[in-house]
Amino acid sequence: MMHELQSLQDRIGYVFRDQKLLEIALTHASYGKPDNQRLEYLGDALLGLIISALLFDKHPKANEGMLTRQRAFLVKKSSLAKLARVMSLGKYIRVGLSVGDVLTDGMLADALEALVAAIYQEGGLPAAQKVVSYCYASYFSEDFLDVVHKDAKSALQEFCQQRRYALPDYQVSEKRVGDRVGFEVCVSIHELKMTATMSAGSKREAQYAAAEKLLDQLQEAGIIKHEYNRSKAH
């Protein structure tokens, strides 16, 4: 186990002084106590803070709404699970016999959050920031924000095409607040009588945001059974 954990530490660029802390971070509740549930709780909050700061620094021209949506994308369970798979984190996680060989997205995401918390506990915020920045490096290219929104719009169109619906209808209206001009976009799927409306400083951004909101509504209504996959954009 110790040899395997060394390869993980080499991968993330951080070596634990307390190897027991690392083991706890990688221990699912089904395996027994101590497990990683408390660390997962802390890691969830830490990732939100660290990702917010990274987005703020790396995308100085992005507005608040766009940054908020990108943070939500980066810290959601499916994104964390994807990153955990890239890191091969699953082979280091200890689980009980009842779990079997298949780790769920939730287990992978929780372990990644717990790992970040363990690094913070031992090395402080700078160490946690360094590891998160390294692991998420591919998500912070210059066109990342635009790519994610484009994929949300494409996903909505593909959903309609698969069901042989008419393509999503985007209604754009200009909105002026003082000296500033913005745009409000209402996107609808006529066959389902569902709509979503979002506003933004540009027509394109408002369209992407509205598409993403409508996709979320489709998930909440149970019409989309599994979360739409935006990972192919990366």
CATH architecture of 2-140: Orthogonal Bundle (1.10)
Is CATH 3.30.43.10 the right assignment for the domain spanning 144-233?
A: no
pLDDT of residue 126: 97
Task: Say which residue the tokens 């402080």 belong to.
Answer: 124
Residue range(s) occupied by CATH 3.30.160.20 in the chain: 144-233
Closest CA to 33 of 20, 52, 43: 20
* Catalytic annotation present for 158: no
Give yes or no for residue 231 having a pLDDT over 50. no
* Catalytic annotation present for 216: no
DSSP states of 57-103 = HH-TT--HHHHHHHHHHHHSHHHHHHHHHHTTGGGG-B--TTT-SPP
Task: Decide: 80 and 52 in contact? Cβ < 8 Å.
Answer: no
Give yes or no for residue 227 having a pLDDT over 70. no
Phi, then psi, of 7 in degrees rounded to 5: -65, -35
Catalytic one of 35, 110, 113, 205: 113
- The pLDDT mean for the chain works out to 86
Long-range contacts of 227-230 (CB under 8 A, 24+ apart): 227/78, 228/152, 228/155, 228/159, 229/155, 230/73, 230/148, 230/151, 230/152, 230/155
pLDDT of residue 232: 38
pLDDT of residue 177: 67
Residue range(s) occupied by CATH 1.10.1520.10 in the chain: 2-140
- Separation between Cα atoms, residue 23 and residue 31, nearest integer Å: 12
Give yes or no for residue 229 having a pLDDT over 50. no
Residues 10-34: tens digit of each pLDDT:
999 999 999 999 999 999 999 999 9
Residues 39-66: tens digit of each pLDDT:
999 999 999 999 999 999 988 877 776 7
Q: Helix or strand or coil: residue 164?
A: coil
Residues 202-216: tens digit of each pLDDT:
888 889 889 988 988
More confident residue, 150 or 93: 93
Task: Decide: 12 and 131 in contact? Cβ < 8 Å.
Answer: yes
- Separation between Cα atoms, residue 206 and residue 203, nearest integer Å: 5
Give yes or no for residue 103 having a pLDDT over 90. no
Give yes or no for residue 217 having a pLDDT over 90. no
Average pLDDT over residues 120-126: 98
pLDDT of residue 47: 97
Average pLDDT over residues 76-95: 90
Element containing residue 228 per DSSP (H, E): none
Residues 189-202: tens digit of each pLDDT:
999 999 999 988 88
- Separation between Cα atoms, residue 49 and residue 71, nearest integer Å: 9
Give yes or no for residue 140 having a pLDDT over 70. no
Phi, then psi, of 119 in degrees rounded to 5: -65, -40
- Separation between Cα atoms, residue 72 and residue 51, nearest integer Å: 10
